[in-house]
Amino acid sequence: MEAADGTANLIIGDQLSLFTSSLVHIRRLWRELVTSIQWENVSEPVLYGLNLLRSFFVLPLLQFVLALCLTMTVMILLEKLFVGAVSLTVRIFKIKPEKRYKWEPIKKDEELGSSVYPMVLVQIPMYNEKEVYKLSIGAACGLDWPSDRVIIQVLDDSTDLVVKDLVEMECQQWKSKGLNIKYEVRNNRKGYKAGALKEGMKHDYVQDCEYIAMFDADFQPEPDFLMRTVPFLMHNPDIALVQSRWRFVNADECLMTRLQEMSLDYHFKVEQEAGSTMFSFFGFNGTAGVWRITAIADAGGWKDRTTVEDMDLAVRASLRGWKFVYVGDVHVKSELPSTFKAFRFQQHRWSCGPANLLKKMFFEIVHNKKVSFWKKVHMMYDFFFIGKIASHTVTFIYYCAVIPLSVFFPEMVIPYWGIVYVPTIITLCKSVGTPSSFHLVFVWILFENVMSLHRLKAALTGLFDAGRVNEWVVTEKLGDAHKTKTVIVDITEASKLVDSQHTKPCIPKLKKKKSGLLDRYLKYCFLIASCIPVEQLELCIHVFASHVSYGLYIFGFFYYVLLTGSITQNWLLEFFYRSVDTMMLLPLRKDTAFTSLFKALHFLLPVLVTLALKLLILDLFLCPFTIFNIILFL
C-alpha cells in the first residue's frame, strides 16, 4: 500500500515538474517573440487607424446623439411647461370637475328607497395578499352605500392555500354581517390581473350592475368614495371613468418612499389634471377608479396582451369617444414599495408595458376617426412618446453617457442652455408636486438617473418584444408591518408568473449566470487592497485579475486618487502596465517593446476608466446588497 502511494506521489511530482518546465519554456518563447517584433513600425499605423476611427465614426456618432438628445430635451421641456400651465390655471381659477361636468349629490327618496342608488360592483383582485387583505376588504365593506345596491367581489388568484383560507374566512365574516360579498377563485391565472377582472365580469350577478369600482389589495377608500364619484357617471352619460388620487400611508418610511412620492404626486397633480382638463383623457391607474360597465364592453373588455391592462383599456375606450374625469379632491390611501427590489420590478412593468402597448396600438390610434386630431396628438406625443419613451432615453443617454463622454472630445460643444437651464427648469417643474420634499430634489435627480437605466431597458424590451416583455412581478405589500419592522421579502419565489397566452417574444431572453458571492467578495477586496502599499500591489493583483470585469481599473483609479488627488495619463499607462504584467505572467516594464503599442492606445484609457466608473456607480445603486440600498432604509 505504501509502495503504491509512493509511486503515485512520484507521478504527481513528475507532472508538476513537466508543467513548470512548460511554463518556463512558454515564457522564454514569448519573450523572444515580443523582442523580435519592431513595435515602433506597428504603432504608427495603429495610431493612425484609431485616429481615423475617432474622427470619422465615434465623434460624428456622438454629435448626432447629442443633437437628438437636445431636441428631445426641448420637447420634454415644452411638454412640462404645457401641462404645468394647465394645472396652474386649474388651481388658480378653481376649475374643478364639478364645474365642467354636471354633478349633484344623490338625494334620498322615502318612496323609492335605496333604488335611487345605482347598482355598483366593487372588485378587489388579490394574489397572496396576506399582509393587506383585511385592510382592503374592510375598507370596501365600509363604503357609504346601501348594502342591497352594492356587490363586493373579491377575486383571489392566490397560490398560497393558507392565504386563500384566510381571505375566504374574512369574506364569510363580512357576509354574516349582511353585506353582499362574493369570494371568487379560478383554476388558472391566465392573463394575470386582467384575466381575473375579465373572469369576474362573467358572473350573472354582474349583469345587474351599472358601474364598477376597482381597488387593488393595498388600497383603502374612504367611506364617501362612491358618493363623490358615482354622480359624475350618473349625470354625464359620455363619461366612462372617474379616477381619484392616490395618497400614501408609508411615504415617510424611508428615503426611497419619499422620492417615489415626489414622482407620483407630480403625476397626479399635474399630468392627470392636465389630461383630464384639456382632452378628457389620461391613463387609468388601474385602481381607485370607477368605470361604466357599458364603456368597458364597448371598448372590447379587458385584454391581457400587455402587462398594463388598465392603460390598454383606457386608450381603447378613449378611441371610442368616451371621456375621463380626474377628481383630485378624492383621495384613496395606498402603499408604496418599500424595498428597492420591489420598486425595480414595478418600474419595469410600468415602463415595459406602455412601450409594448404603443407598438400594438400605433396604427389604430393614427387611423382612428372618432377622436379629434389634437387628442390623437396628445395621446401619441404627450402620453406615449414624451412620458414613456423620450424621458427615459434622455435621462440615461444624455445625462449619464453623452455629457460625461464629451469631456474627451473637445470638438463637441454642448450649449449652456442644454446642460444647465433646460434641465433645471424641467426639474423644478417636476418637483412642484410635493413642496414639502423640495429639499430632496438633488437626491431625487440622482435616483431618477439611476432608475433611467432600468426604465430605458424596460421600454426597449417592450418596443422589441424582448425576453421580459410579459414578466409580471406582483409588488410586495407590508400593510401595517412597515410601522413596526422592516420585512425583507424574496420576490423571486412565487411572484414571477409566466402567462403562456401572452404574445411570444421575438427575441429570446438571455439568461446570464453570475456569481453574486464573487461580486461581493471582489468589492470587499477593493476596500482591503486600498491599504496595501504600491510596492506590494503586484502581490495581490491576481485577486482582481480572476474576475474579468472593470474592477481592476476601478480599484486603481480610486487608489491613485486617494493618494495623489489627481489623474494623469502617465499613471494610467503605469497602472495598465502593472495589470498586464501580472495577468500575462511577464515582467514587462516601460522600457519593453510593448511601450510603443501602449502609447498608441493611451487615449482610450481615460474613456475606459470613465465608463468603468459609470458602471460601478450604477452597480452600487442597482445591486440590492450594496450601500445605496442600505441608505434607503435609514
The catalytic residues are: 157, 310
* Calpha distance 634→629 (Å, rounded): 9
Q: Are 460 and 330 in contact (CB under 8 A)?
A: no
One-letter amino acid at 565 equals G
Q: Are 306 and 348 in contact (CB under 8 A)?
A: no
Buried b (16+ CB within 10 A) or exposed e, 53-92: ebeeeeeeebbeebeebbebbebbbebbeebbebbeebee
Pick from 505, 476, 478: nearest CA to 492 = 476
Q: What angle do CA 591, 594, 598 make, to 5 degrees?
A: 105
Pick from 268, 199, 281: nearest CA to 240 = 281
Q: What angle do CA 212, 216, 219 make, to 5 degrees?
A: 105
Q: Are 299 and 320 in contact (CB under 8 A)?
A: yes
- Collapsing DSSP to helix, strand or coil, 575 comes out as helix
Question: Per the structure block, which three cell numbers stand in for 570?
Answer: 502617465
Pick from 459, 440, 457: nearest CA to 384 = 459
Pick from 127, 202, 141, 131: nearest CA to 171 = 141
Tell me the helix, strand and coil percentages in the chain, rounded to 5.
60, 10, 30
Cα-based torsion angle of the residue sequence 118, 121, 122, 126 in order, rounded to the nearest 10 degrees: 180
Q: How far is CA 241 from the centre of its chain?
A: 27
Pick from 518, 471, 95: nearest CA to 308 = 471
